[in-house]
Amino acid sequence: MRISFFGATKEVTGSNYLIETKGKRILVDCGMHQGSKANNEKNFNAFPFDPSSIDHLLLTHAHIDHSGLIPKLVKDGFNGSIFTTFATKQLCDVMLKDSAHIQEMDNRWDNKKRARKGLEPREPLYEMEDVEKALPLFKGINYNESLDLGSGIKATFFDAGHILGSAHILFESEDIKVGFSGDIGSSITPLLNMPSSFEDVDYLLTESTYGDRMRHSLEDSLDKLAAIIEESFRSGGKIIIPSFAVGRTQLLLYYLNKLVEDGRIHLIKAYLDSPLAINATNIYKAVLEHYPNFFSDDVKELYKKGILAFDYPNIKMTTSTDDSKKINTDDKAAIIISAAGMCNAGRILHHLKYQAWNPSTSIVFVGYQANGTLGRKIRDGADEVKILGEPIEINASVYSLDSFSAHADQEHLIDFVRRIAKKPKNIFIVHGEETAQKVLKDKLEKEFNIQCIIPEYKESFELNKEKVEQVYTEELVSVKEKIRSQVHIENVDLEKEMDVFLKMMKDYIDINKLHENTTLNIERYALKSSQIMLWLRKATEIMGDEIFDNYDALVEKEGIVDIKFEQKSKEFRKEYFMSFSPIFDDFYRKFKELLKPKKIKD
């Protein structure tokens, strides 16, 4: 069985994993990259596999960073089945349509900017018709129900407690069990069931969003939220809450209702200004009626008494654009809950544009803010940001209440592994920023003595009953032509880039004493230093790959004495680096020293 990582590698978004087994090709998740402009551009790249060759897609949950590229997958040729829970199937109906609308709107705006730059227009990532083609492929299944995918391959979905319908997936083939955590829910959510875990897995993929931190207690966050609301109630200021439409919004409504019932806040006016969040809330209601087992016992008991747990009595749901605009003309205190949760799109942008400059405004973040997003910039203390093309001063008070996050924190991520009766041989850490992944890796390895792997983008591994083996694939195919077409080094700090590359190479060689394919390994690590990649690609071609291909033979010698290496490198220097001779000499010396075999002591 082979698994390849095509998303959520050292980042929180873009979940996408390919399993190849028994002649079948099965995807787990097909999420959109979100955050910075560069990250968003990744969505327009061709899939690193042929979509028409995929037999099935298993979807953990409806959030766009897990489901958002499904219409593009269908547009590019996929026609297999999409298996997910019944609740996720219903949520994807509204979420993918909303995403298509955003793609079409953004595309019109983007093409205007491209025209001003003299660039050709491009098609939207996908359109509504692509969503309409994708939706019939969805097949709803129940939790804890084994799904037969043919050829003895099985998948079982377990309750992840993250958002409505979210799931962990146990994948079984070739007598190997692989667990996909999806997004692991927070243990404090009162709406959903507690996150389950696996009984027995050979290999585990776990998310790591909050792998480097413990969240504040829920009660502390509720106290702070109540204080913010009461202060705004007295001063007449607005409280802007960027919120994910699915999961976070419904949880907020629950807690607002509870704060009123407990007498901790006045019944302040609230606006739910997100058509997607409104539709999602209606789906929550429908699922509660028809599939109550998706919800916690408390929610079910309240529903039997005619009480809807996520229904705030003083709320106005605004669907039209005109009603949305009127909110900012109201001078009374109010809570504005709007999407998107990371402020990267949607009506929240207009509210921030008209309210963030005002010192009486409070901006309250209740979820994760990915690198490069507007939400992250504001949360991290930016004095001024660009919103809808205009510079806006941030004079509002900014708060971050991470206890409302639907993600497990570090302790609960570790507990997720503790609860696995038969521990995995290896754990792949995905869906997290690299700093969080490294902290979680250290914690898991220390407690469980299990080797943890932080995979690279496009990295593949062979999984068997005994061990995992890294697969060296031709991951540079898509960039080689671009590299070869560049005939000069751009004006960069070349010396600094070379030093960065040398450190990466040293770290790699320290870990891997022998190399079966050193050229490819060097190229993989050189991608992290793009300017050095230009040098290295040309250098390996000019010097001759045999020097690196035969590295195993070279390590048996006392040192590198190959005359061809010396000669070819000098020819290369003369042709390409005449103006960089001192820098190149130093780099060449360090690089040669790095490759020199070390004597092994008896």
Q: Using one digit for the tens of pLDDT, what is the confidence trace for 558-593?
A: 344 444 444 544 454 444 444 444 555 566 566 666
- 58 in a domain, yes or no? yes
Contact 25, 53 (CB under 8 A): yes
Contact 249, 243 (CB under 8 A): yes
DSSP secondary structure, 422-472, as one string: B--SEEEE-SS-HHHHHHHHHHHHHHH--EEE-PPTT-EEEE-SS-EEEE-
Task: Give the pLDDT score at 496.
Answer: 59
Looking at residue 137, which CATH number applies to its domain?
3.60.15.10
- 601 in a domain, yes or no? no
Is the pLDDT higher at 68 or at 576? 68
50-59, 113-122, 405-414, 421-430: which range is least confident on average?
A: 113-122
The amino acid at residue 432 is G
Same domain, 232 and 331: yes
Same domain, 224 and 314: yes
- 521 in a domain, yes or no? yes
49 three-state secondary structure:
coil
Taking alpha carbons only, the member of 310, 257, 303 closest to residue 283 is 310
Same domain, 463 and 488: no
Contact 29, 10 (CB under 8 A): no
> How far is the C-alpha of 419 from the C-alpha of 435, rounded, in Å?
25
315 three-state secondary structure:
strand
Going by DSSP bridges, is the β-strand pair 315-317/238-242 parallel, antiparallel, or unpaired? unpaired
Among the ranges 81-85, 253-257, 513-517, which has the highest mean pLDDT value? 81-85
The number of C-alpha atoms within 13 Å of 584 and in the hemisphere containing its C-beta is 17
> How far is the C-alpha of 526 from the C-alpha of 536, rounded, in Å?
8
> How far is the C-alpha of 27 from the C-alpha of 388, rounded, in Å?
36
Same domain, 295 and 421: no
Contact 207, 200 (CB under 8 A): no
Per-residue pLDDT tens for 505-537? 666 555 554 444 554 555 454 444 444 544 554
Contact 103, 124 (CB under 8 A): yes
Same domain, 400 and 252: yes
Task: Give the pLDDT score at 596.
Answer: 56
Q: How confident is the model at residue 403 (pLDDT cuts 50, 70, 90)?
A: confident
- 600 in a domain, yes or no? no
Going by DSSP bridges, is the β-strand pair 167-173/153-159 parallel, antiparallel, or unpaired? antiparallel
Same domain, 354 and 456: no
Same domain, 333 and 232: yes
Taking alpha carbons only, the member of 424, 475, 472, 411 closest to residue 205 is 424
Print the domain residue range for 536.
Answer: 477-595
- 254 in a domain, yes or no? yes
Instruction: Report which secondary-structure segment, H or E, holds 19.
Output: strand 17-21
Buried b (16+ CB within 10 A) or exposed e, 149-181: beeebebbbbbbbbbbbbbbbbbbbeebbbbbb
Using the predicted structure, report yes or no on whether residue 144 has a pLDDT greater than 50. Answer: yes
Using the predicted structure, report yes or no on whether residue 92 has a pLDDT greater than 90. Answer: yes
> How far is the C-alpha of 225 from the C-alpha of 366, rounded, in Å?
10
Using the predicted structure, report yes or no on whether residue 25 has a pLDDT greater than 90. Answer: yes
Same domain, 368 and 463: no
Same domain, 195 and 234: no
Contact 42, 511 (CB under 8 A): no
177 three-state secondary structure:
strand
SS3 labels along 220-278: HHHHHHHHHHHHHHHHCCEEEEECCCCCHHHHHHHHHHHHHHCCCCCCCCEEEECHHHH
Same domain, 206 and 223: no
SS3 labels along 273-314: ECHHHHHHHHHHHHHHHHCHHHECHHHHHHHHCCCCCCCCCC
| Domain termination site, one of 418, 449, 471 | 471
Same domain, 419 and 282: no
Neighbour count for residue 277 (Cβ, 10 Å): 30
Ranges assigned E (strand) in 29-166: 56-58, 81-85, 138-141, 146-150, 153-159
Specify the number of domains making up the chain. 3
153 three-state secondary structure:
strand
Q: Tell me the pLDDT of the chain averaged across its residues.
A: 84
> How far is the C-alpha of 112 from the C-alpha of 200, rounded, in Å?
53
Q: How confident is the model at residue 189 (pLDDT cuts 50, 70, 90)?
A: confident
Task: Give the pLDDT score at 12.
Answer: 94
CA distances from 484 to 493, 534, 540, 579, 598 (A): 21, 8, 12, 20, 34
The amino acid at residue 222 is L
- 602 in a domain, yes or no? no
Q: How confident is the model at residue 472 (pLDDT cuts 50, 70, 90)?
A: low
Mean pLDDT for 175-183 is 97
Q: How confident is the model at residue 336 (pLDDT cuts 50, 70, 90)?
A: very high
Taking alpha carbons only, the member of 136, 28, 143, 27 closest to residue 89 is 136
135-144, 209-218, 591-600: which range is least confident on average?
A: 591-600
Task: Give the pLDDT score at 541.
Answer: 45
DSSP 405: -
Looking at residue 326, which CATH number applies to its domain?
3.40.50.10890
Q: How are strands ordered across the β-sheet holding 397-400?
A: 315-317, 270-273, 334-338, 238-242, 362-365, 397-400
> How far is the C-alpha of 170 from the C-alpha of 156, rounded, in Å?
5
Mean pLDDT for 304-329 is 91
- 170 in a domain, yes or no? yes
Task: Give the pLDDT score at 549.
Answer: 40
Using the predicted structure, report yes or no on whether residue 433 has a pLDDT greater than 60. Answer: yes
Confidence (pTM) = 0.76
Same domain, 520 and 395: no
- 562 in a domain, yes or no? yes
Mean pLDDT for 242-253 is 91
Mean pLDDT for 340-351 is 90
Mean pLDDT for 344-350 is 90
Instruction: Report which secondary-structure segment, H or E, holds 335.
Output: strand 334-338
Mean pLDDT for 263-273 is 95
Contact 178, 201 (CB under 8 A): yes
> How far is the C-alpha of 166 from the C-alpha of 407, rounded, in Å?
12
Mean pLDDT for 40-54 is 94
Residue 126: exposure state from Cβ atoms within 10 A (0-12, 13-18, ≥19): buried
Contact 140, 85 (CB under 8 A): yes
The amino acid at residue 76 is D
| Domain termination site, one of 365, 387, 404 | 404
| Domain termination site, one of 377, 404, 431 | 404
| Portion of the chain with pLDDT greater than 70, in percent | 78
